[in-house]
Amino acid sequence: MGRKTNQEIFEKISLICKGLFTKSRVRDIPEFVVPKENIIELEKRLKQDGFNMILDLFGVDFYDNQKLKDYAEVNSRFAIIYHFLKIPDNERIRVIVPVEDGESVPSSCSLFIGADWFEREVFDLFGIKFDGHPDLRRIFLPEDYEGYPLRKDFPTKGVKEYIGTKYTPNFVRLKDRNKKHTEPLDPFEEGSRMVVNVGPTHPATHGTFRMIFELEGEDIVGVDLEIGYLHRGVEKNSENMRWEDFIPMTDRLNYLSAYLNNMIYTEMIERWCGIWDDVPARAKFIRVILGELSRIADHCVSIGTMAVDLGALTPFWYLFRLREEIYTVFEWAVGARLTTSGTAFGGVRKDLDEKTINHINYIVDKLVPEVIRDVDGLLTKNRIFIDRTRGVGKISARDAIEWGFTGPSLRGSGVAWDIRKVAPYGLYEEFDFDVPVATEGDVYSRYLVRMEEMLQSARIVKQALKNLPDDGIMIKSDKFANIPRLPEKKYVYTQIEPLIHHFKGMVEGVVPPFGWYYFGGEAANGELGYFAISYGKRTPWRIRIRPPCFAIYQAFRHMVLGHKLADFVAVLGSINVIAGELDR
Amino acid sequence: MIVGTSEIVGLIIKAGIVLFLALNIVPIMVYAERKVSAFIQRRIGPEKIGIYGVIQPLADALKFILKEAFYPPGANKFFYYIGPMISVLSPLLAFMAVPLIPILQPIRTELSALVVIAFSSLGVWGLLLGGWSSDNKFSLLGALRSSSQFISYEVSLSASILAMLIIYGTFDFVKIVEMQGENIVKWGVLLNPLAFLTFFISALAESGRIPFDLPEAEAELVGGYHTEYSGMKFAMFFMGEFVHLALTSCVMIILFFGGWNMPFIRISSLLPPDYLFTPVLEYAIGFGVFSAKLLLLLGIFIFIRWTWPRFRFDQLIRFGWGTLILLSLISIVISAIIAVL
């Protein structure tokens, strides 16, 4: 099956959606500017054509920047940007909907249910309302918070000092279970239902987020999720820092596999600036090696904590032993264990030495198969474990795509969707590996997928180590003057010319070309994407992070409804929600 | 019944000894659990306090004692305090009727099996009262779970005990052990393996440990019935659990593993018949054999705990009422056939 080029997709969509858009062009992907009245009709036609996922939905505030408005070809202060994705053809288009302050946009929830939380996020951070949204509340910030932080005129310190966490639950309920309860109840009313609050500090919430359950006996009949306890305003902060200063911020997204976040972010900037081909192969190999190791570490935590929540404490220790060894590698190869910041624009910060390579070899040859075998023996065929996980938290492939699932959770539902395979980035096209798929879509499937993925990652690392080239770890090209190739320190201290270069390099940093760019890669939980807007200055105009577990966690409500209280921990463990990535 | 002073003194001494032994199971179990779990999980375990960390349980106890005696503001104080006491007292009382060796049975009665069942069943009151009175939803859920779980498994536990009693034809633990003798063919585990199986599983469930630790399932219920407990009151629940485990193990040894009898060899045949201390030595060896069996069983319990995941509540109840009770009833039938033959 030949993959369509952007131009072909552009022509096809132009034909299908004729008359609905005002402007159109092909940039990194085809783009269409659509007035907000037409967005629902456009979505309907896209859906007919097979576009089945809203990958991302976010707002942009152009404020008074006429140049950016011209670039986007909109004439309003805000724009809402939709990324549509077609699985499994990997066709992507971008739709830009101009919005003025105070206007509202029709909600996409009726067509793409996965837009639910994304729209709430836009409402929360930009104050743009969505008509027809079933549950339009603020999502990260307390409901009585003043101001919309991602607007450009919002002061970084806030409109006024705020202390408190006002939150009104709005339950998603199980329909038709018990006739007398079909009408909405006051959630805290005394009755046959018991409202149990779980989190933000609870043994089963690995991270800080809150779940409120309505129980009938042990059955979950209503759920509400509150997130935002770890909202640090990463996207807002990014507007006040240089492009390379954002690398450490990416560590704090999915902090279990920080290296993958670094890797995808740096690769985005490199591809955007057009220097990707000049990055030395050794650096790319090192990125793949460390990235896959951190994917193994991430899956270790995911499986281990799920097992702990199911009462099996021992697999957790086996897996954490493996993770510990991987972190030792990170300590030697990068210098940090958890928050690696290991990549730099144009390469990696530190080379792998002999000791590290030997240790990585030991890990992928010996330790990973051994640990997987042990955990496999304890869990995979264990009757109790199977009873606890099979058929629990089930989600069909269709629903999973609609909710915006990516990564192991989607593959657990039977969709062989892995960006490393369908649109190889990094150097993944050079390695031989399989994409594991399980068909059931329950907790057990996701567990199996993760287990197999660890072995596949080890396979990739093995191949990469075997063919590790030797051409330096930092870009040498002079084509790209923007990347500061810093002179060596001894010259900086003694000569004027290097000093000037050093100074300019440090102060100005990297400035990507004017405009915007999207790049997504396969992080441990799914597609982690960065959408960035550069306005020609040394700080970004906006960096949007597409977090994989944000889309997955919104479906959690529907995955646990009707199950027992004890099941929610299994489901939560299997989708691996990381609060740092969820809240940003 | 007229009892003399010497009998009362003897009773008190015996009770004191049994109490001492039963409570000393707790530090041994705490240490063994830590060390065995560390071994299973490839950790080192406690090693700083004493040689190989043997004094660790003492340090734990000290920590429990020194904690603030806190109780939640909304709690019903009386029940909150009495809960842990019941849960530790009931297995201790039941221990009084368990003969570790023939002379060491403070409540010397023909109906020792009934006494043990009666007292050990009281333990669930402690969990129920403690969980209900501490004014916490997790505690309440844990207490509800524990009461329904323990009551469900009590049935199959008692049924499998009954199956053995039918075979032996007596309620008296001493007589049961003497009937089994050193010949392992006559041991309960070979007479009726099915009853042993059901008893073992029910005992596991009654002890509230993995895979049956739903009352305190820490993942979803934080701490279950003891969420709001700390310090010595928490330690009492803890002790209650361990003593209960030791109690069921003792009963298991008596019913199925020949009590203080050494397999294949009669203890008295090892000793010179006319030596002055022969009876004392016989009891000492018997006690040693019993302890060895007990430690072995407890070790198996510990291994199970660190290997398996936990059941879900509905699966647990379905297993209890659906499979286990059926099996234990079948084991009664088997016993009846054996008894008739």
Residues of chain B contacting A567 with CB distance shorter than 8 Å: 312
The nearest CA of chain B is from the CA of A373 a distance in Å of 14
Could you list the residue range(s) of the whole structural domain that residue A545 is in?
A: 234-583
Q: How far apart are CA A294 and CA B150, in angstroms?
A: 44
User: A490 lies in a domain?
Assistant: yes
State whether A158 and A256 are in the same domain: no
Q: What is the pLDDT of residue A179?
A: 42
User: A225 lies in a domain?
Assistant: no
Q: Which of A129, A149, A167 is the last residue of a domain?
A: A167
Q: Which of A114, A147, A167 is the last residue of a domain?
A: A167
Q: What is the pLDDT of residue A180?
A: 43
Q: What is the pLDDT of residue B3?
A: 67
Residue type, A21: F
pTM: 0.85
The nearest CA of chain A is from the CA of B240 a distance in Å of 21
Residue A153 has pLDDT above 70, yes or no: yes
Please compute the mean of the pLDDT values over residues A346-363 and round it to a whole number.
86
Residue A192 has pLDDT above 80, yes or no: no
Which tens digits make up the pLDDT trace of A440-472? 888 889 899 999 999 899 989 988 888 888 887
Higher pLDDT, A185 or A160: A160
Write down the H helix ranges in A113-192: 115-126
User: Domain total for chain A?
Assistant: 2
User: A78 lies in a domain?
Assistant: yes
Q: What is the pLDDT of residue B258?
A: 81
Q: What is the pLDDT of residue A487?
A: 63
Which tens digits make up the pLDDT trace of A162-180? 777 778 777 777 764 444 4
Which tens digits make up the pLDDT trace of A49-107? 888 888 888 888 888 888 888 888 888 888 899 988 888 888 888 888 888 888 888 88
State whether A155 and A250 are in the same domain: no
Q: To the nearest whole number, what is the mean pLDDT of chain A?
A: 83
Pick B313's closest partner by Cβ from A194, A203, A566.
Answer: A566
- Please name the residues in contact with A513: beta carbons below 8 A apart, sequence gap of 6 or more: A272, A273, A534
Residues of chain A contacting B39 with CB distance shorter than 8 Å: none
Q: Which of A167, A195, A220 is the last residue of a domain?
A: A167
Residues on chain A bordering chain B, Cβ-to-Cβ distance under 8 angstroms? 194, 196-198, 202-204, 218, 307-314, 317-318, 321, 378-379, 382, 384-385, 387-388, 564-569
Whether B239 contacts B23, CB under 8 Å:
yes
Report the DSSP pairing between strands A172-173 and A343-344. Answer: unpaired
Residue A489 has pLDDT above 80, yes or no: no
In 3-state terms chain B splits into helix, strand, coil percentages (rounded to 5) of 75, 0, 25
User: A315 lies in a domain?
Assistant: yes
Residues of chain B contacting A385 with CB distance shorter than 8 Å: 309
Structure token pair of residue B192: 């009726």
Residue identified by tokens 């659509």 is A34
Structure token pair of residue A290: 């460390």
A376, A565, A571, A574: best mutation site toward chain B, by most B Cβ within 10 Å? A565
**Which chain A residue has its CA at the smallest distance from B216's CA?**
A311
CATH code of residue A139: 3.30.460.80
Residue A481 has pLDDT above 60, yes or no: no
Question: How large a percentage of chain A has pLDDT more than 90?
Answer: 2
Which tens digits make up the pLDDT trace of A40-51? 888 888 888 888
State whether A161 and A252 are in the same domain: no
Residue A181 has pLDDT above 60, yes or no: no
Which tens digits make up the pLDDT trace of B185-213? 778 788 888 888 888 888 888 877 777 77
Q: What is the pLDDT of residue B190?
A: 83
Own/partner long-range contacts of A470-473 (Cβ < 8 Å, ≥24 apart)? A470/A282, A471/A280, A471/A281, A471/A282, A472/A280, A472/A282, A472/A283, A472/A347, A473/A280, A473/A282, A473/A283, A473/A286, A473/A347, A473/A348, A473/A349, A473/A350, A473/A351
Interface TM-score (ipTM) > 0.90: no
Q: What is the pLDDT of residue A574?
A: 87
Minimum mean pLDDT among A1-5, A220-224, A307-311: which range?
Answer: A1-5
B147, B308, B319: best mutation site toward chain A, by most A Cβ within 10 Å? B308
Residues of chain B contacting A318 with CB distance shorter than 8 Å: 41-42
State whether A457 and A547 are in the same domain: yes
Dihedral, CA of residue A557, residue A559, residue A560 and residue A563, to nearest 10: 150
Strand order through the sheet with A23-26: A23-26, A30-33, A91-99, A78-86, A53-61
Residue A479 has pLDDT above 50, yes or no: no
User: A212 lies in a domain?
Assistant: no
Q: What is the pLDDT of residue A182?
A: 44
Instruction: List, run by run, the mean pLDDT of 10-residue segments along chain B (341 residues).
Output: 75 85 85 86 83 84 85 83 87 84 77 84 84 83 83 86 86 82 79 87 82 71 79 85 87 85 76 76 84 88 84 83 87 85 77
CATH code of residue A285: 1.10.645.10
Please compute the mean of the pLDDT values over residues A420-437 and round it to a whole number.
85
**Which chain B residue has its CA at the smallest distance from A316's CA?**
B41
**Which chain B residue has its CA at the smallest distance from A313's CA?**
B306
Q: How far apart are CA B67 and CA A483, in angstroms?
A: 59
Task: With CB atoms and an 8 Å threshold, state whether A312 touches B309.
Answer: yes
